Structure 1
Amino acid sequence: MSIEKCSLAGALLATTALSCAHAEVPDKGEGTLARQLFGPALEEDYGITVSGLLDIGYIRNNRSTSEERKDGLSNSPLPGFSDEGAELGSLHVFVDKPLASNFIPRVTPLPGIKPEAFSFGFSMEALYGRNGQFARTYGWDMHWPANSPGDDDPASAKRHKQLFLAMPNLFASAYLPYGTGLSLLAGIFGPAIGYEIPPNIRESRNRFASKTYAFLSEPGTLAGVLGSTRLLDSEAGIIGLELGLVQGWNNLRDNNHDKSVTGALRWRSPDMGTWVDYEFIVGNEQNSNADDVQLFASRVISPHAQFKQQHSLNGWHAFDAQWSLGAEFVYGQQAGDGKPETINALNGKTFDGAQWWGINSVVTYQQRKDLSYSLRGEYFRDRDGYILPGGQRGDLNALTVGLRYDVNANLSIRPELRYDWFDPLEHDAPFGNGRDRTQLTGLIEALVYF
């Protein structure tokens, strides 16, 4: 990004802040289109909500050449908006029937009296856009006709900036009023492992359009069953437990005949102003057959079991009505026995294991109901070059500053400036198509709720 481009990105931040009116945001715009088309009966009589989200952005960096910008992924390995210029990140459609329970699965235990009635629900999310490429699930939407030819030819998808269709959430749920109350879901679902989670719905923890490298290290979808229960609701806080059995990372068609275990322990203060989560997924994740390599899920090819684990300890605290702080520590490890038949599919070399870890934190100042400012810092270590795109070995660092302005009930704008730098283990350079170890990006994102 040249000096002129940096000034333009800075001006976007400044002018957006200065142009903010002091009127508070009216009611949320989610579901307005469905209510106009179908009336209120679907929601009022059946408890089913239908809503949409359009997530689009414009981004430039200071490292790409004009020719490189014509292709996709020219911001790589930056997580989030991967293409320079205008990008349709994702168009989402959500159909939900939430449970009446004391636990929102994958989110939080709730305070209050335990419901004594059975409850049944479901959830469906479909998305179309550039982000759909990484939201697909093996054995499900990975090779839908709409995703051809990029599903089998990543180079073509990059060259043509192909849009992908995915359905990362499709599950049934139930609440059973036994014991302390039990919430169950079964199907394909986002795992909610980590501080930042997709998609960028209004209630998400995601303060920025771009994501942390820790976000990239975590699974995108899971397929299986998950149970949640509230263990405690007292003056000491609210504690919830989750435990599930799933096929593996981004996997409905298991290609190694081993299941993975996922779970979480969640604590909330009585006023819900502070929370701490420990989340994990563990299990064997090798590709047992070289003819069925699920590269997004695992880079290891081996006839032997290779154990993989991912852990996230994250939390959030509101100091007052304006200041809040969120933070995460993430650790992961992929076992490798080093035998000749155990190889890294990315480079074809014998694989003897890898580990990665990182820490990130975000502080937010809520000036008004419709306007907030945030600052995020991150350190991520991947010295085995295993978990992040490109296979570069070293430490990634990033600083991001930005704001969120809710223009009205249907539109929010999030501009940001981000600076990334890489400390290599040897000679790797992840930015500028392998030439540079620093990158400055300017991004403005629009979120349209309907």
Structure 2
Amino acid sequence: MGNRTYICIDLKSFYASVECVERGLDPMTTNLVVADPERSEKTICLAITPSMKALGIKNRCRVFEIPKNVDYIIASPRMQKYIDYAAEIYAIYLRYISKEDIHIYSVDEAFLDLTEYLVIYQMNAKEMAMMLMGEILREVGVRATCGIGTNLYLAKIALDITAKHATDFIGVLDETTFRKILWNHTPLTDFWRIGKGTAKTLERYGIKTMQQIAEMDEDFLYKLFGIDAELLIDHAWGREPVTIADIKTYKPKANCLSSGQVLMRDYSFEEGRLIVREMMDLLCLDLVEKGLVSESVTIQVGYSNSLHIEPARGTAKFDMATSADRIILPAVTHLYERIVDRRKPVRRINITCNHVIDYKSASSVQLSLFDDEKEDESINRNHRVQKAIIEIKKKYGKNAILKGMNYSEAATTRERNQQIGGHKSGE
């Protein structure tokens, strides 16, 4: 295929920048943090402006970690507002680039394949990146940074490591310059897909740089990391075979549907059970709306942070794939009661519907002689009720129809229905 030209555009301090734009302020000179003032001082700041970063304040700090002598504006999160801004910026990309050549990595970051467009617009990659960044600033008021690379990995690394030190906020890398500039860069955690655990494991063997990974015996790395070593070795050399086209056509072998919640305080065993039932009820509706069924559900329940103990985990399996809450809710409730320690307070809950498949393919299985026709009709009736609930919620809002448990003092569904990604949706 030959070399391609990718850019990775990141919207600088996106949430904080949007809040500044909305107030007619410059995010480069205004001290502003995006955090929910209704939560405690331990709440994490979702974003801070570049002017606060210049003071040495970390982006994902907690409110109480901001020095007391720093004056700043605190803005409550407005997730829908940020999504609207991101959509405006995506529309700018679409003026010049086909959607097939755009991969949205997150609400504030996107990869664009410019390979076929540089000739069309008679520009080099840097000129085109500057043009797009300029339009975003003029039309939306948000500044951007950009990485340019001959593959997706190098574009991302150019953004994350080199762009921040460039006067024009653009970093450029190919495999040769990657080895020349970044082979001995530290720490390793600055590189995409190398977390603290991986870096710590490598450091035990004296490996602290990408060059040392590249020069290490490959069999040894495979013993340490298994199949993940292949990615690590490729990235150490600045290689990445995956393209945006590959991402667009990728279909996972198995699908799942999940939901997670970190509670605002320690919950009792009974309160935790209520939250599990609320979350599972919504996941059942999500399955029905998407036309999916699940073969099993896994729950993970984390205890109070002060206990420093492993979470409880378990899986409830069903006789056949289903989305019926009348089957799933009792099974998951029983699982919770079986695996969770009644004496320990609960702080976080994750639920995953495993091996999710299309409802039609599951329902095409013939009933056996032992299937109960009355039970089957009961499940179908349950399914119709779930679909009716979904339609009401779509028309009148998520809180238009609720269950009695949602009105319990410890319930969170009503509040979460007004949030996006666990934060206030705002306007």
- TM-score of the alignment, normalized to the shorter chain, above 0.5: no
Q: TM-score, normalised by structure 2?
A: 0.24
Q: TM-score, normalised by structure 1?
A: 0.24
Tell which structure's C-alpha radius of gyration is larger.
2
Bigger share in helix: 2
Bigger share in strand: 1
